[in-house]
Chains A and B, each alone.
Chain A
Amino acid sequence: MKYLQDIGSYFLMLKKVFGSFTKTSVLRHLIFKEINDLIVSSLGIVAFISFFVGGVVAIQTALNMDNPIIPDSLIGFATRQSVILEFAPTFISIIMAGKVGSFITSSIGSMRVTEQIDALEVMGINSLNYLVFPKIVALMFYPFVIVLSMFLGVFGGYVAGVYGGFTSSSDFISGVQQDFIPYQLFYAFFKTFVFAFILATVPSWQGFYMKGGSLEVGKASTNSFVWTSVLIIGANYIITQLLLSS
């Protein structure tokens, strides 16, 4: 029963987010601030993880190729497929659920605990629009983070594969170019947008409707990570089934 109530409350929240709008000049300022907090500040960790995981994928593929008739270009091909189809959109989103999701929940939760949200409401401001809408807009730039992750993942694979002596530069590049299907990019970015929306709204819901004090802010942040990850994994399965299984 509680889950049903929570789902209902989440959708009612979404309705209110797009209700009475905050003054445009204020909203513009908030959106730029959120882009900085949620997108720009995540670039470093995303770049670091993507580069090294791309490298590990290339090395693992190379080390598991025992059959001499399998061409070395498979290393580039496997790296590209792993990074573009799953690692960059899905697993970076799980990492972002930890980094950005916890930040969103704790910042909104702290505002709830310290009556800052009540202060907004008393002033006649639609607090959900003021707090959540700029985060949704900011996270619509999330695909740029994923582009960076894709590029650095494949580049990491190249560096690890070529400079680790597992493949030649030309074989790797030929593998990356082999059997490229543009529709797979559409699939990757479609799900990136869905994950971005989940990343913006689920942690906001957790923070906005939390009750209690600072201890509960911590619990809400943990719940936020768990539920955002669960929803991303669930959405990933459904989107993959719908877009790739035909």
Chain B
Amino acid sequence: MIKIEDVHKSFGDEEILKGITTEFDKGKTNLIIGQSGSGKTVLLKCLIGLFKPEQGRIYYEDRAIQDMDDEKQRQLREEIGMLFQGGALFDSMNIEENVMFPLRMFTKQKKADMVDRVNQVLKRVNLENVNKKFPAEISGGMQKRVSIARAIVNKPKFLFCDEPNSGLDPKTATLIDTLIQDITHENNITTIVVTHDMNSVMEIGEKVVLLKQGKLVWQGTNQEIFKTDNEDVTSFVYSSDLFKKIREVQLKEG
């Protein structure tokens, strides 16, 4: 579980996050949604420690990140897996070396054991026989799956995903979403996904947090999001023609 209390973050005179308070549940896929510029990526970067909030507290289970010294923060980061928007795979390493990287850095396992674990997680993300290829030699969807494999190889307690299906075709995007949710349930980890994709909300949004102009304006489940009358939610959800038409059909059917 991750809890945040009254988090504020500014860049210069511009306040990006204006007092966010919420909880992200363990064993669930928690989604942070909102329009571009709503502050969701900034919130994610505050959560993983890449940005330091000016005010507020962030708790990993019962540990406040603000109370940790550098060494404790470093140890906490070993418990974190992160899937970046572009994959962020290391260009100079092949797929096997990329996935093995956290094991090489933080464990004392033998090479053979590390290779076994790499093969295991690559199989879990439905990738086989790509070990010796380089990131540039595989598709965007495969890169995302390799990135997921790297994020989970060291058995993290917390998984963060920044726009995991951006730039992917709808079928591959669904595959990635489902994979993230399955991994979350299998390993009982706290997963936080930043997205603006309503398909992801429908498929995997076990808890959804909506940000607007740096404020948390709504939170609930993906079932509740279609029932609420909250104006901010409806204007975000029904901004696409597809969902507008679904809404019209729903209203016609009463």
Contacts and interface: CB of A to CB of B under 8 A. Distances in A.
Interface of A: 20, 22-23, 25-26, 110-111, 114-116, 118-119, 121-125
Given A20-B74, A23-B105, A110 B50 contact: no
B118 to A, nearest CB: 16
Contacts of B82: 119, 122-123
Contacts, number: 55
B96 to A, nearest CB: 15
Contacts of B90: 111, 116, 119
15 contacts: A20-B70, A20-B74, A25-B104, A110-B91, A111-B90, A111-B91, A114-B88, A114-B91, A118-B88, A122-B82, A123-B101, A123-B106, A124-B78, A124-B106, A125-B105
A123 B48 contact: no
Interface in B68-109: 70, 73-78, 80, 82, 84-86, 88-91, 101-102, 104-106
Interface in B146-161: 160
Dominant secondary structure at the B interface: mixed
Contacts of A110: 91
A118 B104 CA distance: 18
B84 A118 contact: yes
A36 to B, nearest CB: 12
B105 A119 contact: no
A26 B104 contact: yes
Contacts of A20: 70, 74
A123 B156 CA distance: 11
Interface in B35-52: 48-50
Question: How many residues of B sit at the interface, in one of the four size bands?
Answer: 20 to 34
A244 B86 CA distance: 53
A25 to B, nearest CB: 8
A98 B41 CA distance: 37
Contacts of B88: 114-116, 118-119
B50 A118 contact: yes
A111 B86 CA distance: 11
A118 B105 CA distance: 16
Given A20-B70, A20-B74, A118-B50, A123 B84 contact: no
Contacts of B49: 121-122
Nearest to B45: A118
Interface string B232-243: 000000000000
Nearest to B89: A116
A119 to B, nearest CB: 4
A123 B50 contact: no
Nearest to A114: B86
Contacts of B160: 122
A124 B73 contact: yes
| Closest A-B pairs by Cβ, 9 of them | A124-B77, A124-B74, A115-B88, A119-B88, A122-B82, A115-B84, A116-B88, A122-B48, A124-B78
Contacts of A116: 88-91
Contacts of B89: 116
Contacts of A26: 104-105
B191 to A, nearest CB: 15
Nearest to A113: B86
Given A114-B86, A115-B86, A116-B90, A122 B50 contact: yes
A179 B104 CA distance: 55
A119 B73 contact: no
Contacts of A118: 50, 84, 88
